[in-house]
Amino acid sequence: MDLRKLKTLIDLVSESNISELEITEADGKVRIVKSEGAVAVPMMVPAMPAGQVATAAPLAAAAPVAAPVAAPVVETGQVITSPMVGTFYRASGPNAKAFAEVGQQIKEGDPVCIIEAMKIMNEIDAEISGTITKILCENGQPVEFGQPLFLVE
């Protein structure tokens, strides 16, 4: 969800008599809960398959917003993780060829993506050799330090 849209929703909930707002879109679900005397706190929940239910308890105003916890997924292989916080890009430009694709053989030192941090484009090189079996991030998605980016066998 767009950060500006999320901020607008938070402001609307804060200024209204609404105590809770939940919006579901294709890329996920957002739940904003307002407690008595507290600021509205957004809770982002990743999109889940039908049949699963995500619940979240209201947070205190001083409590930090924690990342949603997903059920552990058993994946085989080694993981290439993000060495920094920033924005993940699969290619050097919008019309450029992606550095790495599923099924592609990579060697240690090969560039696999770019992470933009503070307006600086940082080329991320593979720390391992193998075949990319899964790309775990979407192009343009914000990533955290240590977040898995690629699965390699």
What domains appear along the chain, each with residue ranges and CATH number?
3-45 (no CATH), 78-152 (2.40.50.100)
Question: d(Cα 130, Cα 116) in Å, to the nearest integer?
Answer: 25
Most confident of 30-39, 68-77, 141-150: 141-150
Q: Which helix (H) or strand (E) holds 113?
A: strand 111-117
pLDDT tens digit sequence for 47-67 = 555 555 555 444 444 445 555
pLDDT band at 7 (very low <50, low <70, confident <90, very high): confident
Other beta carbons within 10 angstroms of residue 106's beta carbon come to 21
Question: d(Cα 107, Cα 130) in Å, to the nearest integer?
Answer: 7
pLDDT tens digit sequence for 87-140 = 999 998 888 999 999 999 999 999 999 999 988 899 999 999 999 999 999 999
pLDDT band at 19 (very low <50, low <70, confident <90, very high): confident
Residues listed for the chain: 153
